[in-house]
Chains A and B, each alone.
Chain A
Amino acid sequence: MSVRVLMFGWEFPPHIAGGLGTACYGLTKGLAKHGVDVLFVMPKAGGDEDQSAVRIINASDVEVVNTFSDYEEYWKNVNFMEIGSNLVPYLDPETFEREVNRSVKEGERTGRIVYRNKFEFSGKYGSNLMEEVARYAMVAGTIASSQHFDVIHAHDWLTYTAGIVAKKISGKPLVIHVHATEYDRSGENVNTQVFDIEKRGMEVADRVITVSNLTRNIVINKYGIDPSKVFTVHNAVDFQNRKDISVTRGVKEKIVTFLGRITYQKGPEYFIEAASKVLKRYPDVRFVMAGSGDMFGRSIRRVAQLKMATKFHFTGFLKGDEVQKMFNYSDVYVMPSVSEPFGISPLEAMRSGVPTIISKQSGVAEVLKHSIKVDYWDVDALADAIYALLSYPALAKVTGRDGYDEVDKLKWENAALKIIDVYNDAIASAKCNQ
């Protein structure tokens, strides 16, 4: 008998905005391939018109499902539910309040306000976000009491409360999936309200899944969770939707790229300092910083100060195809993150055949062999790795080619098998406890 899962997750195509949505999507698809029944509940950014309304919609008669017709065979086991809600992932409470107010005024949908900079996290909570979390949890209770399932699976802190309520009402085991923690988002200046929700979710959960051992250690050490119930399941990557985009390059120099939010967490300053060191010895290269964030202005000033503005370029925030184009433009991709629970973008770069340099402080470093790994703070090592990829053709060739093969093998089906093991484990232990 196959397992039936009640999953509290996030956005699905075509409105995918970031790593968490991509991961939920890939994971659900992987589970579906193994015949797991998934009842997928997601908050739908409904805008002002139905902020208070709750709709529970069966997949067979919602428009959303039609967009998946390409993957029909995988989705026959997956049912969708949408809840009218202003909840979107990656949103800090302050921005949330601002955006909701704006959308009420202007009638805009809030679905795309993502990629906001988490580092703005100020701790000044608008009441709205916590209300939404609570309301979402109430909805979860309603669903839990009316549906049949064996296990509950909740992704990241906004849905943990929903997971807890569902567990209380149904008595079914709860698995929470930690894609990022408050420590990753805010360094040591954690928002205690968010921290409390996370900690409570982890404590109540029967099993905790983390996206890397790095995150697992945070869950164990910072949240004090029993290591025996925390399991690492590394993310995978799904390139099925990827189009081949060809680009023509306008410059003859090689291009070294940073692509991500320009925030403390992503380590942009280390990229800038390394660039300066490389340019002193290797002038035939251009550096690109793609993205936006609260360290944007400071980064531009530092580049000017180092007098390399003619060789160092900022693109601003890249959307859709532009991201992949940027990868295709690149000769080297660098992810110098200070803290990265997983980090999917190097995989996308590798899929474009681009050699990558990643920080050892990223979860993805645990699964990649054919990427050059440096400590994020070790600017000399980073500069050295960039220089080597530019100067020694064999290195770029081997890392590019073997890296491509490597990401090609990171399949969600395999990650899903591990998750199914966790489900079975959770179900078995819940039965024991009854």
Chain B
Amino acid sequence: MKKTLCFYFQVHQPVRLRKYRFFDIGVRHDYFDEYVNASTIKRIAANCYLPMNNLLLDLISQYGENFKVSFSISGSAIEQFEMHAPEVMESFRKLAATGCVEFIAETYGHSLASLSDSDEFESQVRYHAEKMKELFGKYPVTMRNSSLIYSDEIGRRVADMGFECMLTDGAKHVLGWKSPDYVYTNAINPRLKLLLKNSRLSDDITLRFSDRNWDEWPLTSEKFAYWLDQESRESDVVNLFMNYETFGEYQPASSGIFDFMRNLPKAVFSMTDFEFLTPSETVKKHQPVAPLHVPYPMSWSDEEKDITGWLGNELQNEAFEELFKIKDKVAKTDDYSLIRDYRRLQASDHFYYMRTKLFSDSDFHRYVSPYDTPYEAFINYMNVLSDFIARVENASSGKSERKEQVAEKKLNGKKTVKKTKNVKKDKVDKEIKE
């Protein structure tokens, strides 16, 4: 039986906040930096999304059914593509039309909701899955959580929603001696199959590809295929999970990353007995080898592969608690702008910017965060959240108030109508007199 190479690309862009001072609280409710968001989306579209989508389309037209990949596209990315780069959505639709690309469900707002005990997680996943169906014609059967955050309990919730397959990380502290290169199942509900990221091979592409100090530099398609063949003799599946922005953005075109991908299928077909499948096909083809026990949440982030990148200090915890405290109130208001802002504010990125763990030592963090320090990130976020909470409180306590206001307006309107009538009447009277 052929072994499987499973590519999964994460496409996500948070809606970045503007500089929001405390004196804006209660005064201005526009939280997002339209200029930065638009220019970022356009830049990455030009560097990565468009050229890489075209490359994948080329490969699919060249190899047909034999070349397959999968994507998750966050709701905030979709909204921004639709607004600032509609041609990106168009090219994703073309990819969907080939039938060789699986689109995966996630939380719509790239949220950390799975770590709260509210049902916000379920509602966001369903909303996103519906969106995928609307855009690409298929309701997803595979799910991935923000930053591949996973635990037994999260897996159970995902299984209860009816998903068959979920993606997560092959973290060393969870796997121990076990290999990530097999299909596993959720420890509570074995119907949910798990695919685990092969960190070494994935990171060879995402992190090390252009690193000239790396003793394997330069990485060629043939070398990569050779590693696959040599080191994965015993495995069923090698999962290459990565940020889509790796192609052309984190690894610039000049590094040769596009050529690497263009030549990879040929090298894989000629040098190995691997085939390309989507996640849902992969779990159908290979038998799971064991349940995977993950009592505490893990992720694909940092050395630790845990959730301390988002919920590792008091700043993050406070923001998180405040954010999810108002969940029910937001749900009760059927105000679209509140619900939209709520989803955007949940993006895990906002919490990642507040991490003090590595502080600014990490180049990657500096590259990703729009803030100089985690403190600035926290201050800005909390100002926005304070305003948002006030709006939600107003909306939920003030529904009747608003109705009153509307009623009052109507009343006033009538009065003025009456007045004008009176005026007219007077005029008419005057005219008659004259």
A residues sitting closer than 8 Å to B (CB atoms) are 277-278, 280-282, 369, 372-373, 380-381, 383-385, 387-388, 391-395, 397-399, 402
Contact = CB atoms under 8 A, between A and B. Distances in A.
B313 interface: yes
B336 interface: no
B281 interface: no
Give the secondary structure class of A's interface.
helix
B317 A395 contact: no
Nearest to A392: B382
A281 B23 contact: yes
Contact of B379 (A281, A369, A385): A385
Contacts of A392: 318, 378-379, 382
Give the secondary structure class of B's interface.
helix
A383 B22 contact: yes
B214 interface: no
A394 B318 contact: yes
Interface in B342-385: 356, 359-360, 372-373, 375-376, 378-379, 382-383
Contacts of A381: 21
The 7 closest A-B pairs by CB, nearest first: A394-B318, A388-B379, A387-B22, A394-B314, A384-B21, A372-B375, A392-B382
Nearest to B380: A384
A281 B383 CA distance: 12
B22 A373 contact: no
30 contacts: A281-B22, A369-B360, A369-B373, A372-B373, A372-B379, A373-B372, A380-B21, A380-B23, A381-B21, A383-B23, A384-B21, A384-B22, A385-B379, A388-B22, A388-B378, A388-B379, A388-B382, A388-B383, A391-B382, A391-B386, A392-B318, A392-B378, A392-B379, A394-B317, A394-B318, A394-B319, A395-B378, A395-B382, A398-B314, A398-B315
A399 B375 CA distance: 8
A397 B314 contact: yes
Nearest to A369: B359
Contacts of B323: none
Nearest to B382: A392
Contacts of A398: 313-315, 356
B220 to A, nearest CB: 41
A395 B23 contact: no
Contacts of A395: 315, 375, 378-379, 382
A41 B214 CA distance: 54
A384 B386 CA distance: 13
A280 B382 CA distance: 19
A391 B379 CA distance: 10
B356 A384 contact: no
A281 B25 contact: yes
Given A394-B378, A395-B375, A398-B313, 6 more contacts: A369-B359, A369-B373, A384-B22, A391-B382, A394-B318, A395-B379
Interface in B21-46: 21-23, 25
Contacts of B383: 384, 388
Contacts of B314: 394, 397-398
A282 B22 CA distance: 10
Nearest to A355: B375
Contacts of A278: 22
B23 A373 contact: no
Nearest to A386: B22
Nearest to A388: B379
A20 to B, nearest CB: 30
Interface in B219-271: none
Given A392-B318, A398-B313, A372 B21 contact: no
A333 to B, nearest CB: 15
Contacts of A384: 21-22, 379, 383
Contacts of B318: 392-394
Contacts of B379: 372, 384-385, 388, 392, 395
A369 B314 CA distance: 16
Nearest to B359: A369
A393 B319 CA distance: 11
Interface string B284-322: 000000000000000000000000000001110111000
Contacts of B386: 391
Contacts of A372: 373, 375-376, 379
B226 to A, nearest CB: 44
A1 B156 CA distance: 70
Given A369-B359, A369-B360, A388-B378, A394 B22 contact: no
A391 B23 CA distance: 13
Residue from A277, A281, A395 with most neighbouring chain B CB atoms (10 Å): A395
Interface in B44-83: none
Contacts of B373: 369, 372-373
A277 B23 contact: yes
A126 to B, nearest CB: 46
Nearest to B25: A281
Nearest to B375: A372
A372 B372 CA distance: 10
A278 B382 CA distance: 16
Interface in B1-26: 21-23, 25
A394 B359 CA distance: 17
A391 B22 contact: yes
Contacts of B376: 372
Contacts of A385: 379
A280 B23 contact: yes
A280 B23 CA distance: 9
Nearest to B372: A373
A381 B378 CA distance: 13
A394 B315 contact: yes
A286 B51 CA distance: 57
A280 B386 CA distance: 17
A378 B23 CA distance: 14
A347 B314 CA distance: 23
A68 to B, nearest CB: 38
A399 B373 CA distance: 12
A383 to B, nearest CB: 7
A417 B23 CA distance: 47
Residue from B317, B319, B375 with most neighbouring chain A CB atoms (10 Å): B375
Contacts of A391: 22, 382, 386
Residue from A282, A383, A387, A393 with most neighbouring chain B CB atoms (10 Å): A387
B401 to A, nearest CB: 23
A374 B398 CA distance: 38
Contacts of B23: 277, 280-281, 380, 383
Contacts of B359: 369
A176 to B, nearest CB: 32
A283 to B, nearest CB: 13
B378 to A, nearest CB: 6
Nearest to B319: A394
